[in-house]
Amino acid sequence: MYGSEADWVKNTLAAGTARLRIGDDQFDLVSPRLVTKEVAWQQLPAGTKPPPKLFRVTEFLQVDTTERACGLPTPNPTATRFPGSSHAMV
């Protein structure tokens, strides 16, 4: 877990973009913003487990994806489901 004071979070917010690599997939991320846990949980699939209260998570980094380098089509920007959503919570 990382807080909003982590360098990579600050850099992503300042740059307005980032690239996320998961295995062989690469995602270009745009429009980073910090959102409250209430906003984040409304957008996650039902049944998603929250982080342990021990971590005191109060905000999330939300980003939009622009494309997948693996050649798959750009996800629907109005979707709020994972995976396949144009939104990601980090």
CA-to-CA distance for 40 and 61, rounded, in angstroms? 9
pLDDT of residue 89: 52
Tell how far CA 58 is from the center of its chain.
15
**pLDDT tens, residue by residue, 2-34:** 788 899 999 999 999 999 999 999 999 999 999
The per-residue pLDDT for 9 is: 92
| Token pair recorded at residue 39 | 């906003």
